[in-house]
Amino acid sequence: MAHGHMIPAIDMAKLFTSRGLKATIISTPAFSQPVKTAQNSGFPIDLITLPFPHHDSGLPPHIVSLDQVTSDPTLLPMFFKALSLLQHPFDDLIKRINPDCLVSDMFLPWTADSALKFGIPRLVFHGTSYFSLCVSEEMRRHKPFNDVASDSEPFLIPNLPHQVKLVKTQVSDYNLHENKDDFSRWIQQMRESDARSYGVVINSFHELEPDYARHYTDVLGRKAWSLGPLSLCTNGGNGNGNGNEMNGDQCLAWLDSKKANSVVYVCFGSMAKFTPAQLNELANGLEASGQCFIWIVRSGGGDEEEWLPERFEERMEGKCLIVRGWAPQVAILDHPAIGAFVTHCGWNSTLEGVCAGLPMVTWPLFAEQFFNEKLVTEVLGIGVPVGNKKWQRGANDGVSREAVAKGVRGVMVGGAAAEMRRRAVDYKEMARKAVEEGGSSYHHLTALIKDIATYLPPKKMEIM
């Protein structure tokens, strides 16, 4: 689907093989390299690729990933139509390899029919937290946003263990208006296929969000297993097959020269887009914070002279490192010099920040990121929001340099920052214990393996 989906999927496959199971990843050729990297690292994962079906979907031939279409809503329906065309070759493949279980990305709802056809359990992988799944479902059931008069008036999401408030501008159109367009109808298909699946595997651990793990299973009635943090289980996430080791060496060497907890790491994942004006505000805000920082800027973002303040890197020499393109995020976050993380609140990044024991400046942009921000800042108490309240897939803007500087100082300086760091380190220790033998995630995987081994399928559909 996308690199953010593939990374934890590979880590999950590694985890399964560590317990003696055979794992095969089925993907399209665009995502084969990260799997090959895992194979070259000694993990016995099989890889089978299916050609991406551009025919009959209307997609341009260069589009092969969700990363490439999120900023253009006209391409989304075509992308999901292309994915649905994978079903027939996928079914032929499942018939041939005869697996005992299917773990499916959430964006492939038709795999529920495939699993039923072949009498195997389908496990859904959403790639997000219990918290965001609970918020999304309770919001869908109760529609509290209909009770407010304006987009800026906060509404309370009912029936949750904590008081969680949002405003309409922080919520996607497909949450606000069900069945309005092709994408929201696809979301509805995903929900229906989830209900027909055997259960859900979650990249989280019980101690991080126990109230929401219980809410998801006991109140919402979903069968789920906590297997994370997946990157911690298998030492994953340091490479992912990007092949730019020079960037990694440069980052870590620069950090080696810095004091413990003195550097802010700034990264917004693989899909975030900012206007030149917003990048300029971000740069000025980081400078105004007075903190050292390492900033990962996506390559291909246009002419940097449009947004980088004049003589910025010259002025900030020794205090900042700007990396164009890829960097080894897990290795950077784990470096002793890193003291905080400015993040878009994608779940992979959020969980990696938790595992590194870092307080976070939260800057959500789209998807479920505004939900994850609430978990970090209000439930866990290990983050400070930068103040963005605008859900937007395209080029983002609207956050001032003053807000950036205030957020960074808020997690780096003073007693409140020290208390957030203490809590973050506590969660780091909980995460490590969860994946060790005897830990909560270790037990969940043991239970999942037993459940799969004793699975009795409903009556198989006739296989055509």
What H or E segment, with its residue span, contains residue 339? strand 338-343
In angstroms, rounded to a whole number, what is the distance separating the alpha carbons of residues 29 and 386?
A: 38
At residue 227, φ and ψ (nearest 5 deg) are -115, 0
Catalytic residue from among 3, 11, 91, 105: 105
At residue 353, φ and ψ (nearest 5 deg) are -65, -40
Residuewise pLDDT in 10s, the chain (464 residues): 788 899 999 999 999 999 999 999 999 998 899 999 999 999 999 999 999 987 778 888 888 888 788 667 788 888 888 999 999 999 999 999 999 999 999 999 999 999 999 999 999 999 999 999 999 999 999 999 999 999 999 999 999 999 999 999 999 887 887 766 777 788 888 999 999 999 999 999 999 999 999 999 999 999 999 999 999 876 544 444 444 566 788 999 999 999 999 999 999 988 888 999 999 999 999 999 999 999 999 754 444 557 899 899 899 999 999 998 889 999 999 999 999 999 999 999 999 999 999 999 999 999 999 999 999 999 999 999 999 999 987 778 899 999 999 999 999 999 999 999 999 999 999 999 999 999 999 999 999 999 999 998 876 544 44
Going from the N-terminus, what domains does the chain have, and what CATH number goes with each?
A: 3-235+438-453 (3.40.50.2000), 245-431 (3.40.50.2000)
Structure tokens, 405: 């500087």
Q: Are strands 199-202 and 320-324 parallel, antiparallel or unpaired?
A: unpaired
Structure tokens, 335: 């470096």
User: CA separation (Å) from 144 to 181, 204, 220, 234?
Assistant: 21, 27, 17, 40
Taking Cα atoms as reference points, which of 341, 338, 340, 267 lies closest to residue 297?
267
Query: Is position 105 annotated as part of the catalytic site?
Result: yes
DSSP of 145-200: GGG-SSTTS-EEPTTSSS--EE-GGGS-HHHHSTTSSHHHHHHHHHHHHHHTSSEE
Catalytic residue from among 5, 126, 344, 444: 5
Q: pTM to 2 decimals?
A: 0.93
Query: Is position 88 annotated as part of the catalytic site?
Result: no
Torsional class of 457: left (φ above 0), alpha (ψ -120 to 50), beta (otherwise): beta
